[in-house]
């Protein structure tokens, strides 16, 4: 069945379809083109519950490199986040090259610095705030799937498996392992693909590395996490749909987004709908069902309603 015939068929069956059924079939046909005709079982299977994606450092745990922190710069961080630096020893060598007096200032050998770096990062992962653990437990109890998206070096995540956080997550996407860093939209697309390309995606982060912008560009709802690092930067707030000061409140926000799933559907679909509708000639435009136009308006309106809810 062609896409044009699909719309004609939908118009003929309008009285037998509920709005939600119509919206679902519209979005699925746009998503998959004319490659298959969907049964109701296909639709129910594909319309998933929201998946919640989390930043790691300064969102789930406080990043703390202790006495080494003053010696890090953005360039060194990027080398680690992109996976160029494979371990703490390589990182320390870069830091010492940029800071010739580092050994004397800290009174430590390179080996001691590397051991220290390993230990402080593992300690950070082992000690997340209790409210974060309560939030994650609440989301899992509600049946949501969770995924980490983090700019992180190999040394930063060496202790992940020993962290109490790891038990709550269905998947992790660490920049050092995939060679992509925030705010590159491809990192977020990669994570969504790893989680089965959910219809609704929600990203929670403190806003560092312009992550909220990258998430929003891929159609994710964005929640600014303020319980560890409250970055009060106007550019960050521009891309935050929700601002949350207590971690456990995230559970209620996610549930609220889910209840309005079709109104607040991934804004990434908006471009697909526009492209598809624009491909019709004028004489075909009249064949578009009215409910589908309402859906397009709902998606368009939602993309404008950012930074309007504070918890």
- pLDDT digits over 155-192, tens only? 999 999 999 999 999 999 999 999 999 999 999 999 99
Q: Are 65 and 158 in contact (CB under 8 A)?
A: no
What is the rounded distance in angstroms from the CA atom of residue 225 to the CA atom of residue 244? 5
pLDDT of residue 132: 98
233 Ramachandran zone, left/alpha/beta (phi>0; psi -120 to 50): beta
Kindly indicate the confidence band of residue 55, based on its pLDDT and cuts at 50, 70 and 90.
very high
Q: Are 150 and 77 in contact (CB under 8 A)?
A: no
What is the rounded distance in angstroms from the CA atom of residue 166 to the CA atom of residue 164? 6
What is the rounded distance in angstroms from the CA atom of residue 90 to the CA atom of residue 52? 34
Three-state secondary-structure class, residue 173 = strand
The domain 51-61+128-259 is classified under which CATH number: 3.40.50.150, 3.40.50.12780, 3.40.50.180, 3.40.50.1000?
3.40.50.1000
DSSP state of 49: P
Q: CB neighbours of 191 closer than 8 A, spacing ≥ 6?
A: 53, 147, 149, 171, 173
Is the bond leading into 222 cis (omega within 30 degrees of zero)?
no
Tokens found for residue 150: 């983090």
Lowest average pLDDT, out of 63-77, 153-167, 265-279, goes to 265-279
pLDDT of residue 54: 98
Q: Supply the Cα-derived Rg of the chain in whole angstroms.
A: 23
pLDDT of residue 165: 98
User: Higher pLDDT residue, 288 or 63?
Assistant: 63
Three-state secondary-structure class, residue 33 = coil
Domain definitions of the chain by residue range: 3-47+269-310, 51-61+128-259, 66-124
Q: Are 166 and 150 in contact (CB under 8 A)?
A: no
């Amino acid at each position: 069945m062609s896409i044009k015939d699909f719309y004609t068929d939908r118009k003929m069956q309008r009285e037998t379809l509920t709005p939600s059924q119509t919206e679902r079939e519209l979005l699925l046909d746009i998503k998959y083109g004319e490659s298959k005709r969907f049964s109701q079982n296909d639709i129910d299977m594909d319309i998933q519950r929201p998946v919640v994606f989390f930043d790691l450092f300064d969102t789930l745990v406080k990043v703390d490199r202790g006495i080494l922190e003053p010696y890090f710069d953005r360039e060194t961080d990027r080398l680690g986040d992109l996976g160029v630096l494979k371990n703490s020893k390589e990182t320390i060598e870069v830091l010492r090259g940029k800071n010739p007096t580092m050994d004397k200032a800290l009174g430590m050998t390179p080996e001691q610095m590397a051991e220290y770096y390993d230990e402080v990062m593992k300690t950070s992962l082992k000690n997340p705030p209790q409210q974060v653990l309560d939030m994650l437990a609440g989301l899992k109890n509600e049946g949501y799937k969770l995924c980490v998206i983090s700019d992180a070096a190999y040394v930063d995540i060496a202790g992940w498996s020993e962290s109490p956080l790891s038990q709550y997550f269905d998947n992790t996407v660490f920049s050092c392992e995939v060679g992509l860093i925030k705010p590159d939209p491809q990192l977020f697309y990669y994570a969504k693909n790893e989680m089965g390309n959910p219809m609704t995606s929600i990203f929670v982060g403190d806003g560092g590395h312009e992550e909220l912008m990258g998430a929003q560009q891929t159609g994710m709802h964005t929640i600014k996490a303020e319980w560890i690092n409250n970055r009060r930067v106007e550019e960050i707030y521009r891309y935050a749909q929700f601002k949350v000061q207590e971690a456990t409140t995230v559970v209620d926000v996610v549930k609220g987004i889910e209840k309005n799933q079709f109104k607040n559907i991934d804004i990434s679909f908006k471009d697909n709908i526009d492209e598809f509708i624009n491909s019709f000639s004028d004489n075909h435009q009249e064949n578009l069902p009215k409910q589908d136009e309402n859906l397009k308006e709902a998606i368009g309106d939602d993309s404008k309603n950012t930074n309007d809810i504070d918890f």
